[in-house]
Amino acid sequence: TTATAPADRIEESMHDDLATTLDPERAHALDRAHVFHSWSAQAALDPMVITRAEGSRVWDGQGREYLDFSSQLVFTNLGHQHPRVVAAIQEQAARLCTVAPAFANGTRSEAARLVASHTPGDLDHVFFTNGGADANEHAIRMARLHTGRHKVLSTYRSYHGGTHLAVNVTGDPRRWPSDHASAGVVHFFGPFLYRSPFHATTEAEECQRALEHLEQVVAFEGPGTIAAVVLEGIPGTAGVMVPPRDYLAGVREICDRYGIVMIADEVMSGFGRSGRWFGVDHASGGAGVVPDLLTFAKGVNSGYVPLGGVAISDAIFATFAHDRYPGGLTYSGHPLACAAAVATIRTMEDDDVVGRAAALGDDVLGPGLRALAERHPWVGEVRGTGAFWAVELVRDRATKEPLAPAGGSSPEMAAVLGGCKERGLLPFTTDHRIHVVPPLTTTPDEARAGLRILDEALTAAHAAA
């Protein structure tokens, strides 16, 4: 027998490796045997096997096609398998898979430059992380070291990540089982007119009362003890609540008055999702508000390789210019993730992806969802901007009783979701909300097709209830 050349041998073993991963039944069985999933009762799970994906579509193990209105977990902003991003990762892998954070690397440097060129104001220094939670953990650590204070204020209707401090800073029910040892974390109410904690009846009133409330919380907690106010540029998983026009400028003003660091969590709302580069860019009628620290992940590289980060202002950067920053990550600024970020951000620039997201919201998703709200008695409100929408489902429009309890599920919600899936649509859901968050590259026809399915699924579930 002739000896197999090394290249052939690699080809052969790749073939063997692939054979073990391509069978969808085997994938499902091994998942059930060995994979422990996030946020789930493990035994109840029956995860769909996704075997292929392209643009706004995915295919399951039986070859059925679905429109992806979830962008998975609101991260495939450029859609699946974007050729330029795939090629950039392949090229980087072939050239240099990895280097430690202490070395400089051209791909990481360029990714940092591109991020800094789109973040507002002087947020020109970038600390890369592996995702959103660790970005928030590091932002809070920077704020504490910068101010010499320890308390952190965050909103009840928020999600900031699943790690220890990030889940404690989170306000929504995902915090409850893990809410211990969160010294110094204090929650307050952000504005949300539909379920106003302040009994306001207009956006302007909600804004003013929410700012007065924050001011009171700051006063009673002791301004000299508060390191940071953390809030999402546009709160996402808690229900896509675009803040009233002047709210973020008001928060900025309170932070400035008391020397508090303003941290905008743009993990979900950033990188074009809202139809602007960042959620904070919508503030003050589009003039924008500049936080001191801005955290990002997801859309920065469409989630093709895990990446997040903190964009840091000049003033906070100065704190660590000569004093060591006591924190770090083995994979900070990983070249494969940064290659994906460079290709993603350049594609967004070249193809006006942010403008397309804005138009998708203005021309298709907004009008379509508002029409749906008029037809369906379960729809209490639709809210959003760009490719970032939530449909609030209620049992009764007058009482606003949610169609499922906070942190729970209901047969009606399950029927709506099941109806979407049966008809070939994958939405993203939280509690009693359906989030319509497709890739920003979704075509108007695809968006209309998805809305039609949602419409039919709501009609069928309501009729069966």
Q: Please say which residue, 147 or 158, places its beta carbon nearer to ligand PLP.
A: 158
Stretch that binds ligand PLP, among 143-151, 155-163, 275-283, 325-333 (CB under 6 A): 155-163
Neighbour tally for 226: CB within 10 Å: 24
| Closest C-alpha among 115, 71, 63 to residue 312 | 115
Binding mask 374-413 for ligand PLP (x = CB under 6 A): ----------------------------------------
178 vs 180: CA distance, rounded Å: 6
Our measurement of the distance from residue 192's CA atom to the centroid of its chain's CA atoms, rounded to an integer in Å, reads: 19
Task: Give the interface size with ligand PLP as a residue count (CB under 6 A).
Answer: 16
345 vs 302: CA distance, rounded Å: 9
Which residues in the 282-311 window bind ligand PLP by CB under 6 A? 297, 308
Q: Please say which residue, 378 or 428, places its beta carbon nearer to ligand PLP.
A: 428
Q: Please say which residue, 207 or 297, places its beta carbon nearer to ligand PLP.
A: 297
Given 79, 161, 288, 438, the residue binding ligand PLP (CB under 6 A)? 161
Q: What is the CA radius of gyration of the chain?
A: 23
Q: Please say which residue, 190 or 368, places its beta carbon nearer to ligand PLP.
A: 190
Which residues in the 208-247 window bind ligand PLP by CB under 6 A? 232, 236-237
Binding mask 9-28 for ligand PLP (x = CB under 6 A): --------------------
The torsion region of residue 196 among left (phi > 0), alpha (psi -120 to 50) and beta comes to beta
CB of 240 to ligand PLP, least distance (A): 11
Instruction: Please give the residue whose beta carbon sits closest to ligand PLP in the complex.
Output: 132
Stretch that binds ligand PLP, among 22-30, 52-60, 127-135, 383-391 (CB under 6 A): 127-135
CB of 132 to ligand PLP, least distance (A): 2
Binding mask 173-212 for ligand PLP (x = CB under 6 A): ----------------------------------------
By CB under 6 A, tell whether 272 contacts ligand PLP.
no
Both tokens of 232, joined, read 């999402």
Binding mask 304-343 for ligand PLP (x = CB under 6 A): ----x-----------------------------------
CB of 270 to ligand PLP, least distance (A): 9
Binding mask 69-98 for ligand PLP (x = CB under 6 A): ----x-------------------------
Q: Please say which residue, 66 or 75, places its beta carbon nearer to ligand PLP.
A: 75
Binding mask 131-150 for ligand PLP (x = CB under 6 A): xxx--x--------------
CB of 124 to ligand PLP, least distance (A): 22
Given 139, 267, 360, 394, the residue binding ligand PLP (CB under 6 A)? 267
Stretch that binds ligand PLP, among 98-106, 159-167, 191-199, 344-352 (CB under 6 A): 159-167
- Residue found under tokens 């052939």: 8
Q: Which residues bind ligand PLP (CB under 6 A)?
A: 73, 131-133, 136, 159-161, 232, 236-237, 265, 267-268, 297, 308
